[in-house]
Structures are given as C-alpha cells and as structure tokens.
Amino acid sequence: MSQAVNEDTTTILLVEGDIGDSGSIRRAFASAGDRYRVETAANLAEARRRLSDSMPDLVIADASLPDGRATDLAASLGRPSPIPLLVLADVQDRQAADEAVAIGASDLVVRSDNALAAMPRIAGRALREWRLEVERRRAEERLSQVTAILERITEVDALGSSQETGRAKIEIGGGAGAEDIARELKHLLIGILGCAGLARLELPEDSPAHQRVVRVEESARRAAHLIDRMLAPDERAAARSESLEPVAAGRLETPAAKETERGTVLIVDDEDTVLDVSRRVLERAGVRVLTAASGREAIETFTAHAGEINAVLLDMSLEDLTGQEVCLRLRRVRRDVKVLLMSGYEERDVVSRFDDQELAGFVQKPFSPQTLVDKLTPVLMT
C-alpha cells in the first residue's frame, strides 16, 4: 500500500466486495476534497496483504466478504486494535457486525444510501473518538506507573524514617533517592493531566468515556498532592496543588484569542512527555509553538527565530545546560525576551537563582493544561 500524499491526508482502506457500494463510498470521500485518500480491497485476503504492507488511519469493512467476515479482520488487527475499524452491515448482517464490534471494531454503520453518502462525516467522527480513546488509555497507563512507583517510595520512605535516615539518602533500585524519583514522577503526571484534560474537552459530559477521563484526572491530582506532601510536608504542598486546576468544560482558551494567534512560544524541556503535552495544549489555545529538547537546541532555535518568538517556556534543569545559562545566552541574542521558568522545585528556591535576571513568570510542575494557558496568557498580551 502506498503512503499518504502528505501528513494532513487521512488514508482509508475500504474493504468492500460490492463494486457499486465501493464506488458510492469512494465518490463520497472524493467530494470531501483532499482530506481523505481511499484505497480499496475486494476481499479479506487482499485487505490482509495491504495491512501487512502499510497501516492506514482507518479501515471500513463490509460485515460479509466473499472469503470471510469483518470479525476475521478485527481478529487480525488484534485487541486493542492499532487503528479504528468501522463495520458496514446490512440489516441481515447485524449479528456478524455486532460480533466484530465485540472483539474490537470501533463501530457499526447500517448500510443505506444516506449512510454511504455521509461516510466522510462518519469516518471523521470515528477517528476523533478513536484518538480520544487512545489518549485515555495512555493516561491510565501512565497513572498506573505513577501509582506503582509511589507505593514503592512510600514503603522505602517509611523504612528510612524508622531507621532515622534522611529522606534524601533513601535509595531505590538503581540508587535514586526518594526525592529524585518523586520529582521524576512529576513529568509523568504532566503527561497524564495533559492527555486527560485534552480528551475531556472533546467528550460530551454525558459520555461514559468522559466520566472515565474525569476519574483519571482526579487520581492524577491526588498522586501529585501526595508527592508534594512527601517533598514538603507542610502548608506549601497545598499551595503548589493550585497548579493542577482542571480544564473547565469547553474551556482551554486565552481571553484574547486574536493576540495569541499571532504569538509564538519556544518550549524548552528534555522530557519528551512535557514537550509533547505542552505543545498540544498551547496549539489548541491558538499559540504557535516551537520546541527544543536541550539547552543548545534552544539557543540555536531562538537565534534562528528571534524576531518571531514572543516568549520562552524554559525548564530549570536540562541535561546539557542550566536554566540560568540558557536564559543568559538567549538574552545575548535578544535582551527583551520574555522567559517563563518551569520546575518541579519550589518557586522561591528556583527563582532566587535568577536574581540578576528578570523572569516573566513561573510554572510549577506538574501543571494542568488550563494552568499552563493561564500562566502564559498575560505574558503574550503584554
């Protein structure tokens, strides 16, 4: 199977033995412009060959094929399936279609002239719901990782306390201290809160998936609060938890959309999860985003785009350079650059290292999508 023409084109594999219906579906997608690219297979064997060559974005398959059924194709994809599968069925094929959905197909479409004509809209909805489900699963997996590590930290921390050893000296596994591991967990929590928050925005409130995402967010916030209590078991933990404000329904936008649409932000962090989630959150809020995974890459990117960048979101602790070093070198390129610092450490401890440099703001890790947007908005508006 050949590749899609460009990254904005959705590739669809249509598995349909009826030439007339196959033609109707292809014409419907053609009328939607160049957003979709449809490739066809007339039977199950041909569909499997095409899938082995290259994976499309979506499969639409007839419930009853000349050499098999949609259930066979769903089984071939596995569970969970790596891509969404829509099953097209006549009324008499409903049992076979329901069986396919039961073993992993995304949804059932009852065949009619109207349904065939509406296939681009149906496919678009299926892809959106699929992406949300993937986000939910990813967030739950990360939360499971956090929970397991937190349990281990708690066990070792209790043991260390009973032996009157300092928390910083407690070692787990390869020798990382409990405090170090707790701060690493904050990066995982950013991914969980970000994925869950973005998914919740797309889901109707009465959707069962919406409630599952809300539970994931609540669990992630509890985990973050527990980490804060471990690192600072006093009133400061409650203050830091304010950075975990959930996204309000239908929200995640800045008060001045026109201004931010013209704004460009450079995000600098050596954690892929933080870069990915922060980028997606800000792009959804109308901000153009550039990213850098190291201090040196940040300096190169900023130098190349100094006239375009309105603000820099800078992690305090990078592998190659410190936040102070990066900030100084950025200001050698452009003295008036606005820098927002982000860190898992306390603001007063971090900001004190920048006494000779004016910062535009501070973002406490872990943060929710809404907190990130709220922190950045006044900087882009000034």
* pLDDT band, residue 114 (cuts 50/70/90): very high
CA atoms within 13 A on the CB side of 238: 2
Per-residue DSSP letter, 14: E
Per-residue DSSP letter, 163: T
Sequence spans of domains, the chain: 10-117, 132-244, 257-381
Q: Is the pLDDT of residue 156 over 50?
A: no
Determine what percent of the chain is predicted with pLDDT higher than 90: 29
Handedness of CA 63, 69, 71, 77 (dihedral sign): negative
257-381: same fold as 10-117?
yes
Cα 271 from chain centroid?
14
10-117 maps to CATH 2.170.150.20: no
Looking at the domain 257-381, which fold is it? Rossmann fold (3.40.50)
Residue 117: the pLDDT is 93
Classified as helix, coil or strand, 40 is strand
Q: Is the pLDDT of residue 132 over 60?
A: yes
Share the mean pLDDT of the chain.
Answer: 76
Residue 16: the pLDDT is 94
Residue 218: the pLDDT is 74
Q: Is the pLDDT of residue 250 over 50?
A: no
On whether the pTM is more than 0.75, the answer is no
